[in-house]
Amino acid sequence: MFGKIANFIIRFSEVILLILTICALIFQNIFSSVLYINTNCILIILIGVICIQILNSIIFKNELINKFEDSKINSFKIFFDDVTGAYTHIFKTVKHIKFLRIYAPSTGVILPHFLANKNLQIDECRIMLKKLPPTDKLFLESHTKEIEVLIERWKMMVTDGRIKKLTIISYDKTSDLYYVICDENILMTDLFIINHKDTAGQQTNNAPIIVTANTREGKEYILRCKRQFDNYEIHYKTTCEVLYTNIQPRKSAVK
């Protein structure tokens, strides 16, 4: 607010100075006789004032261009201080999802928000969960138990008719981030930090970012994450494990 007031005062002062400059140019003979200043001196002062005005206009124009470019770059990203605020923002506009992609270690933070939204309808949901190696004895047992509980809760949404098709897959990869992709319109992501008290050995940074497809840059970023998700699913097809699916495999045609 203070910045806007200061900017208004500066612009207003420039307008007043410009008006005085024009008046001085028109009535320079009167100024020279009253102030006993040589006409050439007045012209030099006036030229200096005009140059300052032009310089200020150029600087102000560049500031406007930079602000416009910054707003254009940041217009597809929204930063939040907590996960709850991010999901509240998403569910204000998202009431139906055709294809939901979730890439996360366990969905322990993600699932409660989908469960709480009773009116949300999802046609198909595919989830990729972190699969801990057998050698990771510190977290393997607790992580496995957590995954089992979460899968049952996801299955409840299928039973309730809120998710039509659900597939949950485990992948052999440690990720530094997670993301949730709603169709190709909106994406939420956050980074992980190491936490040995967590069942998976890591936790979210609790500073999510929402990316929307309102701009070309936002749409392209969402498509890149979507392609990454599909690529991981194909790449880990031989090593990943299907933990749950209610999609029946297609029957081959009888010859």
Within a domain: residue 124? Answer: yes
pLDDT in the model for residue 254: 46
Same domain, residue pair 138 and 225: yes
pLDDT per residue as tens, the chain (255 positions): 444 565 566 566 666 666 766 666 666 566 555 555 555 665 666 666 667 666 666 665 555 445 544 444 445 567 777 888 888 888 888 999 999 999 988 888 899 999 999 999 999 999 998 776 656 666 667 778 888 999 999 999 999 999 999 999 987 766 778 899 999 899 998 887 765 555 555 566 677 888 988 888 888 999 999 998 888 877 766 777 888 999 876 554 444
pLDDT in the model for residue 37: 54
Same domain, residue pair 155 and 189: yes
141 — phi, psi (to 5°)? -65, -50
pLDDT in the model for residue 26: 64
Query: 121-130 and 96-104 as β-strands: parallel, antiparallel, unpaired?
Result: parallel
How many structural domains does the chain have? 2
Same domain, residue pair 64 and 144: no
215 — phi, psi (to 5°)? -120, 165
pLDDT in the model for residue 124: 96
Write the CATH number for 222. Answer: 3.30.870.10
Strand intervals (E) in the chain: 77-79, 96-104, 121-130, 163-171, 177-182, 186-194, 202-204, 209-212, 241-245
Nearest to 125 by CA among 159, 154, 83: 154
- Domain ranges, residue 172: 77-245
Same domain, residue pair 128 and 204: yes
- Which of 47, 74, 101 is at the close of a domain? 74
Residue pair 243/169 in contact by the 8 Å Cβ criterion: yes
- Which of 46, 74, 102 is at the close of a domain? 74
CB-based burial, 37-69: b 16+ in 10 Å, e otherwise:
eeeeebeeebeebeeeeeeeeeeeeeeeeeeee
Query: From CA 101, how far away is CA 39, in angstroms rounded?
Result: 76
pLDDT in the model for residue 69: 47
Same domain, residue pair 222 and 119: yes
Residue pair 165/125 in contact by the 8 Å Cβ criterion: yes
Same domain, residue pair 142 and 212: yes
Within a domain: residue 252? Answer: no
Within a domain: residue 134? Answer: yes
Query: 163-171 and 177-182 as β-strands: parallel, antiparallel, unpaired?
Result: unpaired
